[in-house]
Structures are given as structure tokens and as C-alpha cells.
Amino acid sequence: MSFNQLQKIWDDFLVSLMFLTKIPVSRFRKNQVFPNLTKAQWAFPLVGALVGFIVILITNAFNSMGLNAATSSSIGIVAGLLLLGAFHENGLANMLDIFTRELDKEQNVEIMRKNRLATYGTLGLIFYTFLKISLISNLLGTPSCFLLVVGAYALGRTSMVILRKFSIAADDKSSGLLFSKASHSQVILSILLGAMWLIPISFSLVIISAFLILMITLGLRFLASNRIGGISNDVLGASVLIGEISLLTLFNLLFAVES
């Protein structure tokens, strides 16, 4: 692999970090052309893995200092939110407000455009946060808790790549998607980079987790098509959190009960 190829890989990773997190890495880019998210989206799972590692590292650190699992998980999750800037949470709240109302597509698109936090979105975020705290705290006693949390965060970002690949944008001029469809090789690479963290645990777990993410993605695609005629940036962001929480639930069912 040539030095130029390594530079391009590094630049894609930095662009993904700039898009998905609040980490100030723009000054480290050698290539100062406008960031190309479409080209860089294969690296989304790597960013997820980094954030997941930080979350579980902080959680374990505070748990080791004597704090209980729930409190430690809360601190770790808040640290993750500060890194991410609640980017995906905003999308989940907006999507819940749209999908829980019996409105036509035009009205749903109008709600999406206004970007206001309403009742269902607020309740959904509260439920999501408490559920995530519970799920991560339950995994703290498992030998593979680091890999499980990192894998959940990584595959959660893979869901964005898959959903964008197999969906069309909602018919709304104001909700243009931030990146275009990935190539087939980018999708495959993002799946591999998202799932590889689970290989040391079990190869069957890799297959089950990837299949779960695919099913969730297809389900969201179907719902979004019915509600707003396609996907929006909010739906893409929500897919990350839904993917994460689904995987963490799966990992609890498979590992936490046995621990």
C-alpha cells in the first residue's frame, strides 16, 4: 500500500470523525479540500468503535473506583454524548414524533423540517437513555464487555451506510441527505469494520449481529418510505441508536443472564 493510499484512508477517517463527533481534528487533515462524506462513510464504524471504547473505558474506570454499575454507565454514556454532540439523539426524537402520529406524508415532512422536540420524542429519549444505562451496566460483569460495547457502537454506525445505500431521500427539498449512496465495496467494508470486534467472542455472534442490523435497517427503510416517502438525516441518525440498543439488548440476552 502506497503512502498516498494511506493518506487517503487517514483523511477518510478524519472526515468521519469531523462529521460524527465534536472532536476537533480538522487541523490534522493534510488534504484541505472540502470533506467528502460519501467517500469517507466506510470509516463510520471505526468512529463508532472509538466512541464505544471511550464509553466502556470510562464506565469501567468509575466502576473500578467503587461506583455502582448504573452510575458508572451513566457517566460513560454522558461522556459519549459530549463526544458525539447528541447528533443521533436529535434524529431519534424527530423520527419518533413523526412515526407515532397518524398524519399524511406532507404533514410528517413539515414536522421533520421544523426540528422541534415534542412529547413522543422526549419520552422516547428518556426511555432510550435509561434502557441504555441498564443494558451497559448489566454487561460490566461479562468478560467481553469491552468488545461487546465497542461492537454495538461500531455496527450502529454501519446501519447508516446500509440504510443510505438501499433507500431514497424523502421528497423534500429542505431535507437533502448529507452523503450519497456508498458503493458495494464500501458497504461490505463498513459491515466488516463494524462486526470484526465481535470475532474474538464468537463468529456466530458476528453473523447474528450483522443480520440483526440488516433487519433493523430494512424495517426502518419500510417505515420511513410509508411515513415520509423515503429517508431523512433524522432517520439515518435514529438508525444508529436503534441499532446500538438492539445489539446491546441481544448481548444482554446472550451474555449478561449467564454471568
- Render pLDDT for 208-233 as a digit per residue (tens, 0 to 9): 999 999 999 999 999 888 888 888 88
Give, to the nearest 10 degrees, the angle between helix 105-114 and helix 203-228.
Answer: 110
- Angle at Cα 243 formed by Cα 98 and Cα 180, nearest 5°? 70
Rounded to the nearest integer, the mean pLDDT of the chain is: 87
Q: Quick one: pLDDT band at residue 70, thresholds 50, 70, 90?
A: very high
What's the rounded Cα separation, in Å, for the pair 88 and 3?
34
- pLDDT over 80 (residue 180): yes
What's CA 191's distance to the chain center, in Å? 13
What's the rounded Cα separation, in Å, for the pair 155 and 151?
6
In tens, the pLDDT along 12-48 reads 899 999 999 988 887 777 666 677 889 999 999 999 9
What's the rounded Cα separation, in Å, for the pair 162 and 182?
8
Q: 210: closest CA among 147, 156, 145?
A: 156
Contact status, residue 29 vs residue 40, Cβ threshold 8 Å: no
pTM of the model: 0.90
Contact status, residue 32 vs residue 126, Cβ threshold 8 Å: no
Report in angstroms the alpha-carbon separations of 43 from 61, 86, 149: 27, 19, 18
- pLDDT over 80 (residue 56): yes
Which residue's entry shows cell 424495517? 219
Range of the domain at 101: 3-256
Question: Per the structure, how many domains does the chain have?
Answer: 1
- pLDDT over 70 (residue 116): no
What's the rounded Cα separation, in Å, for the pair 202 and 168?
35
What's the rounded Cα separation, in Å, for the pair 72 and 56?
9
What's the rounded Cα separation, in Å, for the pair 195 and 106?
37
